[in-house]
Amino acid sequence: MQAAVAAAREGARFVIVGTLSGQLAVTGTGRTAPVALDSTQILLRKITIKGYSADDNPEAHEEWFGRLANWLRSDEIRVPHVVIDGLERATVALRDITQGRYVGMVVVKL
């Protein structure tokens, strides 16, 4: 986020969709992702920052998952993922995620 603000043009708009760094932090509740931002640059460049959560638009969930399923089946998009077999391996998978072993989505198959 710091690099994005530093490189932003005047009138830039940011939408914050996820805060995985906060959720995977070693300390804290997972509900914060602190970052130091240069508020002077945000002001001078007239940057807009808005948060978005899927909870903001619950009626879109069914449509989104339907479209995503169709895109995946047709190979229009590919989502990098790995499947981990067995709930007993979930804690190891989480550790590996936090250490950067995987790229994309990690699914634990029950």
Domain assignment present for residue 42? The answer is: yes
Domain assignment present for residue 94? The answer is: no
Spatial distance between the Cα atoms of 16 and 14, rounded to a whole number of angstroms: 6
The total number of structural domains in the chain stands at 1
Domain assignment present for residue 44? The answer is: yes
Q: Residue 68: pLDDT band by 50, 70, 90 thresholds?
A: confident
Residue of 20, 27, 39 lying closest to 97 (CA atoms): 20
Domain assignment present for residue 36? The answer is: yes
What is the Cβ-side half-sphere exposure of residue 32, based on CA atoms within 13 angstroms?
A: 7
What is the span of the domain harbouring residue 31? 2-56
Domain assignment present for residue 84? The answer is: no
Domain assignment present for residue 15? The answer is: yes
Domain assignment present for residue 78? The answer is: no
Q: Residue 23: pLDDT band by 50, 70, 90 thresholds?
A: low
